[in-house]
């Protein structure tokens, strides 16, 4: 090997090591955010905004890494990593947090609030801040913000649905949290919990007969290929949040903690309003793919799901939330 070749290789190796060192040590803190969302989802665009803003405001001292498609594992697994103090976060619904702090489960209860502005009143209220403190003490989780609205959830099947009776005998995928399970059961279907990544294949193989989901997720997962009807029940107003490790969060300088919470809330608002603006287009695209989208009278579904609050012990909490929504 010539002297010139050896010198060139040494220089190249040195540059590579310098690059690796720079990428490894430029940030003092790294937060890895896991989400089941696809990259084209409006909420994922919000996560990209969150990443950019945090890194800019901290001068690169806090690095945010995004993992779409649940690349880091199931939400429950990432929540456990966060409990152990890892620098991870997950975009998660209240139902999965209810195992640690019961109050969060009510966010997934049927017909709790209308649209984003309605549910936003709840998750930015003093009452909600009490829940976040309770969660910290109960499980060691820190909520950065909880204003990430994914839309109202509707029923996707291969047959028309107009009333709860039409869902009799339908095995319907839903997350495994009690509030979701009881809601779907009250609507007339048989709740079947499974991971979101398994839904397409389960529908294709007829392991399940239907699924309930919001438009961006339905379209992003190409469910129009394995279902033919969307019934707009709007039974759950899906609000989610970015939840991380309290132990990891508490190690940050106070300034960085404030930046994470501020930018998470700001990006959540922007992403939620983008979701709102995108819904009509999602419907148009699903219709173009051959799906039937039905507007129905949801009154029978509202009536059928009213007992869910009593059954799960949310009666008084529901009344408190009603007062917040009326202001």
Look at residues 191, 190, 151 and name the one whose alpha carbon lies nearest to residue 174.
191
Residue 175 near residue 236 (C-beta atoms within 8 A): no
The first and second tokens of residue 8, run together, are 């060139």
Residue 23 in this model has a pLDDT that exceeds 90? no
Question: Is the pLDDT reported for residue 235 higher than 90?
Answer: yes
User: Which class is domain 3-326?
Assistant: alpha beta
Report pLDDT for 197: 86
Whether the predicted pLDDT of 198 surpasses 60: yes
Average pLDDT of the chain?
A: 91
Residues 150-168, mean pLDDT to the nearest whole number: 97
Give the H or E element holding residue 38: none
| Integer Cα distance of 261 and 250 in angstroms | 13
Least confident of 11-20, 92-101, 118-127, 279-288: 11-20
Record the tokens describing residue 250, joined without a space: 């508490």
- What is the model's pLDDT at position 2? 44
3-state per-residue secondary structure call for 69-125: CCCCCCHHHHHHHHHCCCCEEEEEEHHHHCCCCHHHHHHHCCCCCCHHHHHHHHHCC
pLDDT of residue 257: 98
**SS3 call for 60:** coil
CA pair distance 101, 80, nearest whole angstrom: 15
Question: Are 95 and 178 spatial neighbours (Cβ–Cβ below 8 Å)?
Answer: yes
Q: Which of 154, 282, 300 is nearest to 229 (CA)?
A: 154
Residue 274, Cβ density class (10 Å: 0-12 exposed, 13-18 middle, ≥19 buried): middle
The whole-number average pLDDT for the span 198-225 is: 96
Residue ranges of domains in the chain:
3-326
pTM of the model: 0.85
Q: Is the pLDDT reported for residue 11 higher than 70?
A: no
* DSSP H stretches of helix in 165-298: 178-186, 199-204, 215-220, 246-250, 254-288
- What length is written for the chain? 327
pLDDT tens for residues 303-323? 999 999 999 999 999 999 999
Position 182 scores a pLDDT of: 96
For β-strands 210-213 and 141-157, DSSP reports them as antiparallel
Q: What are phi and psi of 39, to 5 degrees?
A: -65, -25
């Amino acid at each position: 090997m010539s002297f010139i070749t050896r010198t060139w290789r040494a220089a190249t190796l040195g540059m590579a090591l310098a690059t690796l060192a720079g990428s490894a040590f430029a940030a003092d803190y790294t937060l890895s955010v896991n989400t089941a969302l696809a990259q084209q989802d409006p909420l994922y665009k919000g996560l990209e905004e969150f990443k950019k803003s945090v890194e800019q405001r901290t001068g690169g001292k806090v690095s945010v890494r995004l993992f779409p498609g649940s690349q880091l594992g199931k939400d429950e697994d990432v929540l456990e990593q966060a409990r152990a103090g890892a620098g991870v976060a997950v975009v998660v619904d209240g139902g999965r947090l209810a195992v640690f702090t019961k109050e969060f489960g009510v966010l997934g209860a049927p017909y709790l609030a209308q649209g984003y502005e309605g549910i936003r009143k709840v998750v930015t209220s003093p009452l909600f801040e009490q829940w976040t403190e309770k969660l910290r003490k109960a499980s060691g989780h820190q909520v950065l913000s909880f204003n990430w609205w994914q839309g109202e959830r509707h029923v996707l099947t291969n047959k028309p649905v107009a009333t709860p009776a039409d869902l009799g005998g339908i095995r319907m995928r839903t997350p495994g949290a009690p509030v979701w399970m009881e809601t779907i059961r009250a609507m007339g279907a048989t709740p079947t919990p499974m991971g979101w990544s398994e839904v397409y294949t389960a529908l294709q193989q007829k392991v399940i007969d239907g699924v309930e989901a919001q438009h961006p997720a339905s379209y992003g997962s190409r469910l129009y290929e394995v279902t033919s009807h969307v019934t707009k029940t709007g039974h759950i107003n899906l609000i989610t949040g970015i939840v991380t490790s309290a132990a990891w969060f508490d190690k940050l300088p106070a300034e960085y903690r404030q930046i994470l919470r501020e930018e998470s809330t700001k990006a959540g608002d922007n992403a939620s309003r983008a979701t709102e603006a995108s819904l009509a287009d999602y419907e148009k695209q699903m219709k173009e793919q051959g799906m039937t989208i039905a507007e129905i009278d949801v009154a029978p579904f509202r009536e059928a799901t009213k007992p869910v609050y009593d059954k799960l012990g949310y009666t008084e909490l529901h009344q408190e939330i009603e007062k917040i929504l009326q202001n």
